[in-house]
Structure 1
Amino acid sequence: MTKLWRRARSSNEFYVLLVIIALSLVIQFRSGQFFTVNNIVDIANAMVVPGLFGVATFMVLVSGGIDVSFPALASLSVYATTRMLVDAGYDGALWLPVLLVVLLGAVLGAFNGLLISRIAIPVLIITLGTANVFSGIMQGALSSVQIPTLPPSMSEFGRASILTVTNPDSGLTSKLPLSFLLLIVVVVVAFFVMRFTTFGRGLYAVGGDESSAVRAGFKVRAIKFWLYVAVGVIASLAGLVRTSMMDQMHPTNLLGSELMVIAAVVLGGAAITGGTGTLTGTMLGTLLIVIVQNSMILVGIPTYWQSIALGALIIIGTGISALQLARQHRRSRIPA
């Protein structure tokens, strides 16, 4: 038990969990509504899209990169798919929109992966460039405009729910969307890949020390390339979920969400320098950000204070990551 307690105290996830519990109790004390079934379901609903983005960002951070292009990539792939299907008058099953979004996401992710794996330029710089390329294609070549009517299968997917709960006092209803199952599936698959496959171990190795990873026999270029293909697919699925839940396609709705997602993953313990991090921490960090965004309104906190809180969380999360890295360096210099 002592060893387990020491291990828990040394992990970032433990402190993030304490902050979540403390914040939840404060909101419950002030509003009396936090632990209602409606609010829990609403938080789970709000977790889906940032959670999917968080999984993709977690994999990138573990590999030692910082990707800021995934919102633009998701927007382009979903907009192109929706525009194509609406213009064609498609009214068939959901499999075709999903297939098109996955294919476009994989192609755009492969574009990122090809540049990142072949050019010795920081990932942040490359993805800043590709984010503008994706946005430019969407807004220029495709003349992006809001699409108010989606194909029926996408609208039905957005409305589909696992369960519906009703608050007995207010009469308000909340739905847990079917897409929440998609988040669970993606998290489980990502956990298996990162924990039990050569590809996952390669991501940690590349993020820890790329030169050592090469000497250990990892195919670094291939790992980077397929990483960004996977990121493109996951991000595009998140974009499809957001569009379906909104029941309309807004080209710029996802743009600008990259900082919030990166902050959530860093808060969960993923080092900005790469090589460390867990999916558990990523989900906890995402949950904390979602609570700040969605539940603080229950206590009447204005929107600008929520923005200040998010900014503070970004600084704190980055600071914790830097302190942990400095501690590791000090320990590595202590002779055995």
Structure 2
Amino acid sequence: MKAFLKSKEMSVAVIILLLCIILAFISPVFLTADNLLDVVKGNAVLGILAIGMTLVIITGGIDVSVAAVTSAVCVVLGKTMMFLPDSPLTIVLIFVIAPLFGVLLGSINGILVAKIQIPAIVVTLGMMSIINGLVLYITNGQYLNSSNFPTVFLKFSNFSVFGISIIIWLFIITAALTWYILKYTLIGREVMAIGGNKESAVRVGINYSKVQIFVFSYMGFLAGIAAIAQTSYTKAVDPNGMLGLELMVIAAVVLGGANIMGGRGTIFGTILGVLLLGIIQNGLILAKIDTFWQKVFTGAIILIAVSYDHIQYKRSQKQLSKIEVEA
């Protein structure tokens, strides 16, 4: 309990609480149930992608192609739905097609990183450029709107359980599934072991390549789920709608306590990071801050968070070195 109270997650939770109190004074609308649900719903796609990015960052990698992969899956979904029947089977097919296509793209990243040993940042930057170019070529930069989608999908998009949107439920289920994988499965323990100490993990028999392919493929899988949530939320496909989202995804994970150098990260922390970014953005809108200043403010928070995390990491490494010398 003491460790949790001193953790970075607890610090983020306190910041969120203080922000909520301040924003409640600025705008009485902020603490209403509808507004809070809108904050979560509006950031569900960010949250789903951040959950996947947590695993990648824990292993010491990074994936800047997540937004591009999600956009590609959105385009595939939009094009596919033009030919799908207006029946419940369509929803089933969507939940098969989108994750599978995401896994395909994610596994390419994983294979290049694990087998050819190209740095993750280089691989995913290249994939981001390739995918964005292909998406613009296929769509000519044009929207695919809801007039092309089956009615059953539009009904699904508006579906709620206990008054909570299906989009929020996708986020909740994704978080619960990933938490379970990290805590109770062999591959989850291997992800944590690789992040903690790659050399030691390989020495005890953990297959480094398998873990790398898994985390990038799982990132692709969640990009597929995020694409369903995004298409459901906007009821359209915008080829340029997710440009730059990868930075927010990485920021949410780091704000939630993950170490950008690898070895540390939790699903709960990532959820808090997503909520913090969502609340800040919502608060700036309610405070009627100009859109440009919203971007400046959010960017500054991201920079400060990553810088602080890196400084703390360097301090911990120096302290560890000092202990080893004294021993």
Q: State the TM-score, normalizing by the size of structure 2.
A: 0.92
Does the aligned pair in 2 maintain the 1:82–1:97 contact within 8 Å?
no
Alpha-carbon separation, structure 2, partners of 1:141 and 1:26: 46
In structure 1, the residue matched to 2:109 is 112
Alpha-carbon separation, structure 2, partners of 1:225 and 1:142: 30
In structure 1, the residue matched to 2:78 is 82
Q: State the TM-score, normalizing by the size of structure 1.
A: 0.90
Equivalent residue for 1:329, pick from 317, 321, 325 = 317
In the alignment, does 2:231 pair up with 1:243? yes
Label 1:273 to 1:99 Cα distance change in 2 as closer, same or farther (>3 A).
Answer: same
| Shift of residue 295, structure 1, vs aligned partner | 2.6
Q: Deviations over 1:269-323 (max 9, x none)?
A: 1001001011111000100000111232222222222212211211121122113
Equivalent residue for 2:86, pick from 84, 91, 96 = 91
| Shift of residue 153, structure 1, vs aligned partner | 2.6
Further displaced range: 148-157 or 219-228: 148-157
Alpha-carbon separation, structure 2, partners of 1:221 and 1:89: 37
Equivalent residue for 1:310, pick from 260, 280, 298 = 298
Q: How does 1:1-336 map to 2 (within 5 A)?
A: 4-5=1-2, 7-86=3-82, 88=83, 90-93=85-88, 94-141=91-138, 143=140, 145-148=142-145, 149=147, 150-163=149-162, 176-333=164-321, 334=323, 335-336=326-327
Q: Which amino acid aligns with 1:304?
A: F
Does the aligned pair in 2 maintain the 1:292–1:309 contact within 8 Å?
no
SS of residue in 1 equivalent to 2:79:
helix
Which sections of structure 1, spanning at least 5 residues, go unmatched? 165-175
Label 1:81 to 1:299 Cα distance change in 2 as closer, same or farther (>3 A).
Answer: closer
Q: Which amino acid aligns with 1:286?
A: V
SS of residue in 1 equivalent to 2:161:
strand
Label 1:213 to 1:83 Cα distance change in 2 as closer, same or farther (>3 A).
Answer: same
Further displaced range: 324-333 or 47-56: 324-333
Alpha-carbon separation, structure 2, partners of 1:120 and 1:114: 9
| Shift of residue 326, structure 1, vs aligned partner | 2.0
Alpha-carbon separation, structure 2, partners of 1:22 and 1:272: 26
Does the aligned pair in 1 maintain the 2:40–2:278 contact within 8 Å?
no
Does the aligned pair in 1 maintain the 2:63–2:121 contact within 8 Å?
yes
Does the aligned pair in 2 maintain the 1:82–1:151 contact within 8 Å?
no
Further displaced range: 301-310 or 241-250: 301-310
Alpha-carbon separation, structure 1, partners of 2:244 and 2:319: 38
| Shift of residue 155, structure 1, vs aligned partner | 1.4
Q: Deviations over 1:201-248 (max 9, x none)?
A: 211222233222211210110111121111111011111111122111
Q: Deviations over 1:254-278 (max 9, x none)?
A: 2210101111110111001001011
SS of residue in 1 equivalent to 2:236:
coil
What is the percentage of aligned positions where both structures have the same residue?
32
| Shift of residue 98, structure 1, vs aligned partner | 1.6
Alpha-carbon separation, structure 2, partners of 1:34 and 1:224: 41
Alpha-carbon separation, structure 2, partners of 1:89 and 1:204: 41
Which sections of structure 2, spanning at least 5 residues, go unmatched? none
Q: Which amino acid aligns with 1:325?
A: Y
Task: Give the 4+ runs in structure 1 shifted more than 4 A.
Answer: 141-144
In structure 2, the residue matched to 1:172 is none
SS of residue in 2 equivalent to 1:82:
helix
SS of residue in 2 equivalent to 1:295:
helix
SS of residue in 2 equivalent to 1:19:
helix
Alpha-carbon separation, structure 1, partners of 2:43 and 2:133: 29
Alpha-carbon separation, structure 2, partners of 1:185 and 1:72: 23
Q: Which amino acid aligns with 2:132?
A: S
Q: Which amino acid aligns with 1:134?
A: I
Further displaced range: 252-261 or 282-291: 252-261
